[in-house]
Amino acid sequence: MESIDTRSLQQLDAAHHLHPFNDNAALAKKGTRILTRGEGCYVWDSEGNQLLDAFAGLWCVNIGYGRRELGEAASRQMTQLAYYNSFFGCTTEPTVRLAAKLAELCPGDLNHAFFSNSGSEANDTILRLVRHYWAVQGEPQKNIVIGRHNGYHGSTVAGASLGGMKGMHKQGGLPIPDIHHIDPPFWFADGGDMDEETYGRHCAQRLEDKILELGADRVAAFIGEPIMGAIGVYIPPKNYWKEIERICRKHDVLLIADEVICGFGRTGEWFAADYFGFQPDIMTLAKGITSGYIPLGAAMFSDRIAKVLHEKGGELAHGYTYSGHPVCAAVALENIRILQDEKIVDTCRTDTGPYLAKKWKQLGEHPLVGEARIAGMVGALELVPSKPSRAFFEDRGRVGQLCRDIALKNGLILRATYDSMLLSPPLVISRAQVDELAEKAWKSLDMTARELGMP
Ligand SMILES: Cc1ncc(COP(=O)(O)O)c(CNc2cccc(C(=O)O)c2)c1O
């Protein structure tokens, strides 16, 4: 492989590339890290640093890096038919086979796939189709969707509106009309001394209160990430989603589970709906659907919704050029085949997930860690100035960034949101790599505490 001149690439990057979710001026000064290769759970940068990627890219490289089978699947499809669309009564074989495979894998009667290029676009699709679903049944006023403050559902106009990130709303005059938000279940911050079950009911009740405030005849749907990822891996009480489901059924509000992060094995089950034991009406998929090897999103709809759209919806005035792209579908099918044939989800649930949980909980014993939370292969360490108080650091986020940078120097990639250190490794992580992750994490916590002058 030709050696990469990092400096000249960084200069080109600073001159021409606007990075997502970045202060691009500061980044131009600091210089971008150029990643060049991936293998299993490791990535290398252009300076030759080997990094254990405990964040699987961006929550998504579930089968690990370097699986040639996916490139071969893409190459075969590209050579045979690089593209055709699913408009005008047409489609392609991999698109159909993927829709059928997703129907087989998804819980309950989620048998109908609408394809997009991303999770954001899948949520845009869902917002439009949910409003269309109620309108064609004579209830156009039933168009409100309720999400959660600090939830993340993407960065398109609708995705960012469904999400509850105030900083995103400020940039672009969001949310769009008829999107409301309730507080999320974050026990560490607002659980007080409630036990898990009480707190679960308390948080779910926020949804019923909001539905009654708005009027159930106005509320179309509720959307939530089963585990809230980007904001810091908020793992809800075990009873929360059953309670949410009960409330949605009671008021005839559609239940949307955004499984962009949780889907395809992240919790040790195929979907978090399986992990928490609830049945969504709609599910958002992306990331793990192709393990990030190629962009793809999907919105899964139940039989009930599809029936109404088929019988009363007329022509669906919605779609994307690349909806059901054959190369993306072929890669997704190969990704899912590997997940199934190599029993990767089962191994996470029965072996490496429990092992990781044990090691992750041990990190919770570090003086800097107020809470070590984990579900399957997604978790967080909450960094705090003094454990018993469950109080946050003053300038939230500074310590998280410091710890992230120290971890990088120690050859470990962890994501930091505020002062939560986030974990989401490739699902193929071995016990030995879990040991390496835990050792590097502990060392990084020690070095961070020393930097802070903590005893
Ligand atoms: C739950 C959820 N829903 C939708 C999206 C949007 O998917 P696309 O990005 O493919 O449009 C996401 C994406 N999640 C995401 C995207 C970018 C950054 C981070 C972070 O944790 O910093 C997380 C997500 O986590």
As a whole number of angstroms, the distance between CA 132 and CA 139 comes to 9
- Cα dist from 18 to 23, 24, 86, 118, 194, whole Å: 9, 7, 32, 19, 45
Residue of the CA atom closest to atom 13 of ligand 1: 154
> Residue 326 is inside which H or E element, if any?
helix 326-341
pLDDT at 415 over 90: yes
Query: What was the pLDDT predicted at 2?
Result: 53
291, 60 Cβ separation under 8 angstroms: yes
**Ligand 1 site, residue 182, Cβ cutoff 6 A:** no
Query: What was the pLDDT predicted at 389?
Result: 85
Joined together, the tokens standing for residue 19 give 């990075």
Query: What was the pLDDT predicted at 369?
Result: 97
Report the atom number in ligand 1 closest to the C-alpha of 258.
1
pLDDT at 15 over 70: yes
**Percent of the chain's residues with pLDDT above 70:** 99
306, 129 Cβ separation under 8 angstroms: no
Higher pLDDT residue, 427 or 29? 427
The mean pLDDT of 73-80, rounded to a whole number, is 98
Higher pLDDT residue, 1 or 292? 292
The mean of the pLDDT values for the chain is 97
Query: What was the pLDDT predicted at 455?
Result: 76
Closest CA to 309 of 162, 112, 127: 112
Residue of the CA atom closest to atom 19 of ligand 1: 230
**DSSP-derived 3-state class of residue 216:** coil
The mean pLDDT of 305-313, rounded to a whole number, is 96
**From 21, 58, 121, 424, mutation site for ligand 1 pocket: most ligand atoms within 8 A of C-beta:** 58
Q: How far is the CA of 114 from the centre of ligand 1 (A)?
A: 18
Q: How far is the CA of 215 from the centre of ligand 1 (A)?
A: 30
**Ligand 1 site, residue 43, Cβ cutoff 6 A:** no
Q: How confident is the model at residue 228 (pLDDT cuts 50, 70, 90)?
A: very high
Joined together, the tokens standing for residue 429 give 């992580």
pLDDT digits (tens, 9 = 90+) for 248-262: 999 999 999 999 999
DSSP 8-state assignment for residue 374: E
Query: pTM to 2 decimals?
Result: 0.98
**Ligand 1 site, residue 160, Cβ cutoff 6 A:** no
The mean pLDDT of 407-420, rounded to a whole number, is 98
pLDDT at 1 over 60: no
Q: How confident is the model at residue 80 (pLDDT cuts 50, 70, 90)?
A: very high
Using alpha carbons only, how large is the chain's radius of gyration in Å? 22
**From 19, 259, 261, 290, mutation site for ligand 1 pocket: most ligand atoms within 8 A of C-beta:** 261
pLDDT at 205 over 60: yes
**Ligand 1 site, residue 153, Cβ cutoff 6 A:** yes
pLDDT digits (tens, 9 = 90+) for 84-103: 999 999 999 999 999 999 99
**Ligand 1 site, residue 154, Cβ cutoff 6 A:** yes
As a whole number of angstroms, the distance between CA 377 and CA 364 comes to 16
The mean pLDDT of 150-174, rounded to a whole number, is 97
Where does residue 161 fall: left (phi above 0), alpha (psi -120 to 50 degrees), or beta otherwise?
alpha
**Ligand 1 site, residue 283, Cβ cutoff 6 A:** no
As a whole number of angstroms, the distance between CA 325 and CA 82 comes to 9
Residues in the chain: 455
As a whole number of angstroms, the distance between CA 436 and CA 11 comes to 34
Query: What was the pLDDT predicted at 4?
Result: 72
pLDDT digits (tens, 9 = 90+) for 164-190: 999 999 999 999 999 999 999 999 999
Taking the chain, what is the end-to-end CA distance rounded to the nearest angstrom?
Answer: 47
pLDDT digits (tens, 9 = 90+) for 100-148: 999 999 999 999 999 999 999 999 999 999 999 999 999 999 999 999 9
**From 22, 117, 152, mutation site for ligand 1 pocket: most ligand atoms within 8 A of C-beta:** 152
Q: How confident is the model at residue 3 (pLDDT cuts 50, 70, 90)?
A: low
As a whole number of angstroms, the distance between CA 200 and CA 235 comes to 11
Torsion of CA 190, 191, 192, 197, to 10 degrees: 160
356, 377 Cβ separation under 8 angstroms: yes
As a whole number of angstroms, the distance between CA 416 and CA 115 comes to 31
**Ligand 1 site, residue 230, Cβ cutoff 6 A:** yes
As a whole number of angstroms, the distance between CA 146 and CA 211 comes to 8
**CB environment 278-303: b (16+ within 10 A), e (fewer):** bbbbbbbbbbbbbbbbbbbbbbbbbe
**Ligand 1 site, residue 119, Cβ cutoff 6 A:** yes
**Percent of the chain's residues with pLDDT above 90:** 95
Report the atom number in ligand 1 closest to the C-alpha of 230.
21
Q: How confident is the model at residue 390 (pLDDT cuts 50, 70, 90)?
A: very high
